[in-house]
Structure 1
Amino acid sequence: MDTLQSAISFVLNDLGAAVFVPLLMLLIGLSMKMKFAEAFHSALTLGIAFTGMSILINYMMASMGDAAQKLADNTGISLTAIDGGWPGMASISWAWPYAFLMFPLTIGINILMLLFNKTKTLNVDMWNVWNKIFTAVMVSYITGNVRWGFLAASIQIILELKAGDMWGPEVEKLTGISGVTVPHFVTLIATILFPIDELLKKIPFFNKPLDANILKIKIGILGENSVMGAIIGFLLGLAAGYGFAGALQLAIQAATALTLFPMVSKLFSQALTPISEAISDFMKKKFSGREVYIGLDWPVLAGRNELWVAVIITIPAFLITAIVLPGNNVLPFAGIINLSFVIGALLLTDANLSRMIFHGIFSGPLFLYAATFFAPYITRLANETGAATVAEGKLLSWSTIAGPDIRYLFCSAFSGSLINMILLIVWLGIFYTLYQSKKKYNATIGNDE
């Protein structure tokens, strides 16, 4: 066990995703009979793509996050729960004593489902195993039973793989990269947004296509990536009290990020297309044309500017919600840029900006109430593992906690709440309906699932 734990720690902490995933893709490429030179070049380009995207995301998070936090500070509101964001949650999750067991569990379930043809997704996004760990910890703490925690995590793994299956054609449509998908936990928020999205489609304003390209056609130069970024950055800077000069600086920073995101995203296509083709050829020979998606982390979608426009526009609404929401105890800080709704909304709406923004505003209370509910247990995990020290009278939380609906239902249903057992079954029913809906939609775009 100690050897396994050390190996996992080396992969996740020492190598990191930008090294580990390309190495894994190199091995996959070679096993698919790619020439070494081609597989190596693809893997290296993938590492460059991950690194470049990480730099841009951190740049965007720092510039926009600082402005958003300044906007929050200007309200003068003081709430007792500290927002550690997803980096803080990932750090303390890996400190859980049973964390290393989640790695073989994730791989084992994936292999079994592939062998029995229950999924098309080979998930190589091992960094985000921490999301399963976090679920297992919360369920274990609240139910008092570690076994329930691992059962919940196992269900989550299966749901993520099925989500990867249904998102594959949409990811290809949005990115132009074939053979990849995003089996990330944050996409499961689409389940609870799905019934609302179906209603929005019946409203004339929301049922018209409105992605970044259509926006350019409708409003001309104002729809250009750089111009949109500059306008949003400038307005946020003014609202944050940066003054005219500071707002202009933030405008240039936002314009820079929105201009460079699509450029860097092209590297993913260059890296993954040869590997995807090799896998496709291999599967046709060995498994009678069976299709397999490579499951990657969400930054493969980060080149879509709708994602960033929607998430930045919803920041003020999220802050106002945090201030006025009765019973909320968390002031958004490290998690203020809500990536936990926007990726699922992007995939669900086919990059429809109007519906994405609506979903961001609508789901705000859900995230904040979940963050308030889980705060005592997150604080307990931090203090027990020593990963962080939370002062007496304070709490640690995550304002944009991923999967707020399903995580809460896991915890409450496995604790014996009959109502929430029923709600969990309803949630799974909605997920199944969403899956079938996407299956029909995928067939219409030439990708029968």
Structure 2
Amino acid sequence: MDVIQSFFQYILDFGAAVFVPLLMIIVGIIARMKFREALSSGIILGVAFIGMGIVIGFMLDALTPAAQSLVEKTGIQLNIIDGGWTSMATLAWAWPLAFLMFPLQMLVNAILLVLNKTKTLNVDLWNVWGKILTAVLIIGVSGSIVLAFIVAAIQMVVELLLADVNQKQIEKITGIPGITCSHSMMIFAVFLLPFNWLLSKIPFLDKHVDADTLKDKLGIFAENHVMGFIIGGLLGIFAGYSLQDILMLAVQAAAALTLFPMVAKLFMQALSPLSEAISDFMKRKFENRELFIGLDWPILAGSNEAWVAMILMVPITLIYAIILPGNNILPFAGIINISLAVPALIITGGNLLRMLLLGVITTPVFLYVATGFASTITKLANDTGAVTVQDGQLISWSTLEYPVFRYIFASTSEGNIIGIIMVAVWLALFVAYYKMMKKRTEKFEKEEEQNSAA
């Protein structure tokens, strides 16, 4: 058992920037790409991951102190520390059975592919820690290892089905054919569905307002660098920065929004040849079968809408933390809510105005669920010793990914009747979301046919 655990841990220790490109090189060779082409694509993919990580880290390093300064100005005192995703990942990997989640994910994916129940080959295996964290939370609430693995397996199936049905929208946003996002954060889009539907029925909000629309209306003020400069400058002003620091943050935000789409082009450069090779392979071997490559969310990080929404939600999140009764978490490490912005990007098709409104409506859910899980997460941290928490304090994650899914399944694992009802409602929403995105896919395909015919 120790040998197996060490083997899988060794593989995962490579990290996404090495592991995923290696896997893609192997897939490319199997799909009969020339070795030099597969190697070149794999290396560029690794460069894209590293480049995007550098830009994201640069942006977080610039924005987080401003957010902290804004919090200090309020004088707010909350007793739950925001440990961010890194603390949660550390806690997840401390679980003795964590290594079993890796082969389970591959097995679930393989079974669904063989049965033709999914078109997605999920190579985003490094993010298996998200399923481990779900299992750990289930155990923390219910004490059942069996239920923990069952819920984690359900999550694996759901993320593959969502990767399938979101593929055309993701292709439209990224411009990369044959790829999709298999990260579990997409599960939150199911919860966003009714709110997005209601917003779409309001006059003006039914119109598509993305970064390109803003450029048409606002001209230079909607250019990436100018928009980043303005947003960064405003955040610096709210944080009470000096003039020098305000201008520095403004330029840093401008640099990040300018660099994101540039780095994102590397994903296209790396993945387009691989996608074409895999598509040709599937046509030769399996008639009428498609295969999508499921990747981590950074393939969508070139979207201006996602980053504008994330930055603008920072002060709103902090205001909520201050005024919401019952909230006890102080957003810090998780202040940039990627796990809200990315699903909102997909469900709205990049409608920036609607993304912001969805953020305003649903951000309290993240804070309340993070508060609700704090005692469970803190107990797990103390029991495993993986994360150090001082006496009298609690730890959680202010922007816990897919909070609704984790909360209702954790409640159900306790035998809570309300949790069971919420799971039934969630499943109904999932079916509705799946059907909606299938219709959207059919619409995109018709448009492609019309354009090719023209």
The TM-score normalised by the length of structure 2 is 0.97
- Contact 2:408–2:422 under 8 Å retained in 1: yes
- Contact 2:140–2:377 under 8 Å retained in 1: no
The code of the aligned residue for 1:374 comes to F
- The CA deviation string for residues 16-48 of structure 1, in whole angstroms up to 9 with x for no partner, is 110110000000000111110110000011001
- Contact 1:125–1:295 under 8 Å retained in 2: yes
Give, in angstroms, the shift of residue 318 of structure 1.
0.8
User: Taking every aligned residue pair, what percent have the same amino acid on both sides?
Assistant: 53
Q: Which moved more, 1:224-233 or 1:358-367?
A: 358-367
Counterpart for residue 404 of structure 1: 403
Counterpart for residue 12 of structure 1: 12
Distance in 2 separating the partners of 1:127 and 1:185: 12
Counterpart for residue 203 of structure 1: 202
2:222 pairs with 1:227? no
- The CA deviation string for residues 156-183 of structure 1, in whole angstroms up to 9 with x for no partner, is 0000000100111111100000010011
Counterpart for residue 141 of structure 1: 140
Residues 344-423 of structure 1: pairs in structure 2 closer than 5 A: 344-423=343-422
List structure 1 runs of 4+ shifted beyond 4 angstroms.
Answer: none
Q: Give structure 2 stretches of 5+ with no counterpart.
A: 448-454
The DSSP-based 3-state class of the residue aligned with 1:389 is coil
Give, in angstroms, the shift of residue 188 of structure 1.
1.1
- The CA deviation string for residues 207-247 of structure 1, in whole angstroms up to 9 with x for no partner, is 11111111111100000000000000000011111121111
The code of the aligned residue for 1:171 comes to I
The code of the aligned residue for 1:406 comes to F
The DSSP-based 3-state class of the residue aligned with 2:330 is coil
- Contact 2:142–2:413 under 8 Å retained in 1: yes
Counterpart for residue 330 of structure 1: 329
Distance in 1 separating the partners of 2:311 and 2:270: 29
Distance in 2 separating the partners of 1:132 and 1:227: 39
Counterpart for residue 2 of structure 2: 2
2:272 pairs with 1:276? no
Distance in 2 separating the partners of 1:52 and 1:413: 41
The code of the aligned residue for 1:85 comes to G
The number of residue pairs the alignment matches comes to 447
Counterpart for residue 320 of structure 2: 321
- The CA deviation string for residues 302-340 of structure 1, in whole angstroms up to 9 with x for no partner, is 000100100111111111111111111101010011111
- Contact 1:280–1:289 under 8 Å retained in 2: no
Distance in 2 separating the partners of 1:303 and 1:4: 38
The DSSP-based 3-state class of the residue aligned with 1:291 is coil
Give, in angstroms, the shift of residue 12 of structure 1.
2.0
The DSSP-based 3-state class of the residue aligned with 1:181 is strand
- The CA deviation string for residues 81-108 of structure 1, in whole angstroms up to 9 with x for no partner, is 1000111111211111111010011010
- The CA deviation string for residues 327-385 of structure 1, in whole angstroms up to 9 with x for no partner, is 11101010011111000000000000111001111111100110011111111222222
Distance in 2 separating the partners of 1:331 and 1:70: 12
Counterpart for residue 213 of structure 1: 212
Q: Give structure 1 stretches of 5+ with no counterpart.
A: none
Distance in 1 separating the partners of 2:214 and 2:12: 40
Counterpart for residue 162 of structure 1: 161
- Indicate the RMSD between aligned Cα atoms, in angstroms: 1.0
Counterpart for residue 27 of structure 1: 26
Distance in 2 separating the partners of 1:447 and 1:272: 24
The DSSP-based 3-state class of the residue aligned with 1:295 is strand
The code of the aligned residue for 1:342 comes to A
The TM-score normalised by the length of structure 1 is 0.98
Distance in 1 separating the partners of 2:71 and 2:181: 32
The code of the aligned residue for 1:73 comes to E
- Contact 1:169–1:447 under 8 Å retained in 2: no
The code of the aligned residue for 2:254 comes to A
Distance in 2 separating the partners of 1:241 and 1:127: 39
The DSSP-based 3-state class of the residue aligned with 1:294 is strand
Distance in 2 separating the partners of 1:144 and 1:10: 29
The code of the aligned residue for 1:248 comes to L
Distance in 1 separating the partners of 2:360 and 2:126: 29
Give, in angstroms, the shift of residue 447 of structure 1.
7.3
Counterpart for residue 60 of structure 1: 59
Counterpart for residue 112 of structure 2: 113
Counterpart for residue 426 of structure 1: 425
- The CA deviation string for residues 180-209 of structure 1, in whole angstroms up to 9 with x for no partner, is 001111111111111111111111221111
